[in-house]
Structure 1
Amino acid sequence: MGINLISDTVTVPTKGMLEAMMTAKVGDDVFKNDPTVNKLQAKIAEMFGMEDALFFPSGTMANQAGIKLHTQPGDKMFCDKWAHVYNYEGGGPAFNAGVTSHLIDGNRGMFTAKQLSEAVLGGRNDIHTPYSRLVALENTTNKGGGACWDFEEILKIKNVCDANNLAFHLDGARLFNAMVAKKQSPEQYGKVFDTISICLSKGLGAPIGSLLLGTKEHMEKALRIRKLFGGAMRQAGYLAAAGIYALDNHIDRLAIDHTRAKVIGTALQNCSLVKSVEPIETNIVIFNVVDSIDDHDFISRMHDADISMISMGNGKLRLVTHLDFTEEMLERVVLTLDHI
């Protein structure tokens, strides 16, 4: 049996999740008449202590709707140079919202309040510069190797946003990973951010779907944006049922994925073909191979052992643990790294 560590999006629904999907009560969500979608939206809004939520087919669409909510064409968004919304969403901020991105040179996808303040002050609004409107964070950081933001720093960034009338969006694709690793609560985040996107198909193991959270006014606007983007769905309750099941059953177990990622990290540090391993906080492992081989050679050797992984570019390789990655598979990966 092959071992797929390309991403935590490769999972398939569990038996319990499939049963929940097959027995879901559904309606037409375009008319807000799907009871299971409505239940999911209310459930996650309550979890975060926010007013409302809206179900989207993808995290990219949820993020792009969030950006469009807070901006007008020609405005400026501040984000890290490694941010997913800038690097991996097809140029969406520029294409969908007409927004220019001010990239901050952070560490592993995370910048400081001081860096943000300097960036804002350096681009004071006049007729020559875009209006500063939005700050977007990503937690955990994908390209940063599953790194988790320090919550105290987030609060400081919030103060900068408030002082400069900037909206605050969180790309929380793997936010539950961060909360489990740091023993944080959804309510902490709900009090700080104007909008939050949550992915159900990464660590939580649902087959599809993300949610955008915010005020009722924001979600009314997001409903129209989702329609504009082509994201309105009909009997989406079958998918929403998987999301409800994931929220009820797959959050606490994320700690298992984190532990297994750290075990792989130790094996990589002991592997003769590996030059360095980045710090591991959650379920993403990023490392560099020695100069005598390239990343494609290493991927090929792992593929020969029936283990799949990907390159992040610039010599970085990535492994991601997930719901379908078992203890037996972990042992095989460790053994392979020991003999590769």
Structure 2
Amino acid sequence: MTRPAIDLRSDTVTRPTPAMRKAMAEAEVGDDVYDEDPTVKALERRTAELFGMEAALFMPSGTMTNQVAIGVHVAPGDEVLCDASAHIYVWEGGGIARLSNATTRPIEGDRGLLSLGLLQGKIRPDDCHYARTRLVSLENTQNRGGGWVHPLESVAEISTWARSNGLAMHLDGARIMNAVVASGVAAREWARHFDTLSVCFSKGLGAPVGSALAGSGDLIRKAHRLRKAFGGGMRQAGIIAAGALFALENHVERLAEDHANAQILAHAVEQTEGLSLESGPVETNLVWVTVDPALGTASEVAAQLLEVGVLVSALGPQVLRACTHLDVSREQVEVAAEAIRSLGSRRL
């Protein structure tokens, strides 16, 4: 299928800019499994510095960074506390059970966001009949919750509680830089409440491949062993690390444009009979939409939009998602918004 002119399925569909391609083509490389790739090392140092962590480790995907982090923190039979819609639980192939032999205790949050009140009382008793509660994992921004930013005050409260109870903290920060830009809270301020943090370079930041895990030197050394076991050791990885490094240096502040563009789409949804914002006001670059059955199914509505060159994701019988990113201009978003408004006059 020819790629539609306006692809709003995900911020993962971005393609490298000419300047990013140039940086990748000119990257100095070596064998990273031998710890000899200077560009990978530069990216890892920059990531660790950004989040105020001792070290970082480059990996092929966000799923791998999350699953490696979980494996670092838990032992077989341990338990992870997370929101019921968390990416680590819903969309990572059952990796917690498959790779770490651990169990998950999903908790129903508010738009995917957990609070201290929801977590209190959830630690299992110190008894051989129970799994050992070991890790709390949060997600920021929360994808399935509508791209909301986890309030910093709530994160701090949860972190204090978790650490006082001997629990580790992990942040699935696939879109943490969206949270940084939307909130104005520095990356290292978010990070200081966690033992490990993952960041994805191939979403809103626009790199073609890669994520990183940041944490203490000791935890990252353990993560390095797991990355190898999971098949994440790469050779001349500097070619893709250069894209990620370029994204960190050049594409962070422009995320505000994606957030502004998402507001245009959200406003169009609010103006269209039969559509509503599933999670309320939009905060970042994700627009989750509930489709009234009178307008059709989500798949039928997505097909109508595709007819006019707008591609969105149908992620439930009556749920659509649109995601803004650097490959979609303000003008294209305006066209997509008009296509959304036109749905109100095309009721099935």
TM class, shorter-length:
over 0.9
* Superposition CA RMSD, Å: 1.0
Distance 2:278 2:266 in 1: 7
Alignment partner for residue 291 of structure 1, among 290, 293, 301? 293
**1:281 maps to what in 2?**
283
Mapped pair 1:232 → 2:233: yes
Q: Deviations over 1:13-41 (max 9, x none)?
A: 00110010011000000011000000000
Mapped pair 1:17 → 2:41: no
**1:98 maps to what in 2?**
101
Alignment partner for residue 82 of structure 2, among 79, 82, 99? 79
Percent of pairs with identical residues: 43
**1:54 maps to what in 2?**
57
Distance 2:317 2:72 in 1: 34
**1:337 maps to what in 2?**
340
**1:148 maps to what in 2?**
149
Q: Deviations over 1:97-118 (max 9, x none)?
A: 0110011110111111121112
**1:207 maps to what in 2?**
208
For the 8 Å contact 2:173–2:198, the answer to whether it is kept is yes
Q: Deviations over 1:61-107 (max 9, x none)?
A: 00000000001010000000010000000000000001100111101
* 1:155-234 aligned within 5 A: 155-234=156-235
Shift of 1:314: 4.8
For the 8 Å contact 2:266–2:277, the answer to whether it is kept is no
For the 8 Å contact 2:299–2:317, the answer to whether it is kept is no
Q: Deviations over 1:108-135 (max 9, x none)?
A: 1111112111212xx2120110111100
Distance 1:203 1:275 in 2: 24
Distance 2:42 2:161 in 1: 35
Which deviates the most, 266-275 or 3-12? 266-275
For the 8 Å contact 1:276–1:289, the answer to whether it is kept is no
Distance 1:182 1:336 in 2: 30
For the 8 Å contact 1:116–1:160, the answer to whether it is kept is no
Distance 1:11 1:185 in 2: 25
**1:306 maps to what in 2?**
309
**1:134 maps to what in 2?**
135
- SS of equivalent residue, structure 1 residue 170: strand
Q: Which amino acid in 2 is paired with 1:273?
A: G
Distance 2:317 2:190 in 1: 33
For the 8 Å contact 1:269–1:277, the answer to whether it is kept is no
For structure 2, the 5+ residue unaligned runs are 344-348
For the 8 Å contact 1:12–1:207, the answer to whether it is kept is yes
For the 8 Å contact 1:268–1:277, the answer to whether it is kept is no
Q: Which amino acid in 2 is paired with 1:215?
A: S
Mapped pair 1:269 → 2:270: yes
What TM-score, normalized to structure 2? 0.95
For the 8 Å contact 2:277–2:287, the answer to whether it is kept is no
For structure 1, the 5+ residue unaligned runs are none
- SS of equivalent residue, structure 2 residue 182: helix
Q: Which amino acid in 1 is paired with 2:256?
A: A
Q: Which amino acid in 2 is paired with 1:339?
A: S
**1:42 maps to what in 2?**
45
What TM-score, normalized to structure 1? 0.98
Shift of 1:289: 1.3
Distance 1:319 1:337 in 2: 11
Distance 2:44 2:318 in 1: 40
For the 8 Å contact 1:77–1:136, the answer to whether it is kept is yes
Runs of 4+ in 1 over 6 A off after TM superposition: none
Q: Deviations over 1:114-170 (max 9, x none)?
A: 2111212xx212011011110000000111110110000001001111121000000
For the 8 Å contact 1:66–1:169, the answer to whether it is kept is yes
Q: Deviations over 1:167-191 (max 9, x none)?
A: 0000000000011000010110232
Q: Deviations over 1:232-274 (max 9, x none)?
A: 0000001111111000100000000000001110011111231
Shift of 1:297: 1.2
Q: Which amino acid in 1 is paired with 2:15?
A: V
Shift of 1:277: 4.6
Q: Which amino acid in 2 is paired with 1:319?
A: A
For the 8 Å contact 2:136–2:170, the answer to whether it is kept is yes
The count of corresponding residues between Structure 1 and Structure 2 is 338
- SS of equivalent residue, structure 1 residue 119: coil
Alignment partner for residue 115 of structure 2, among 105, 112, 115? 112
Q: Which amino acid in 2 is paired with 1:59?
A: G
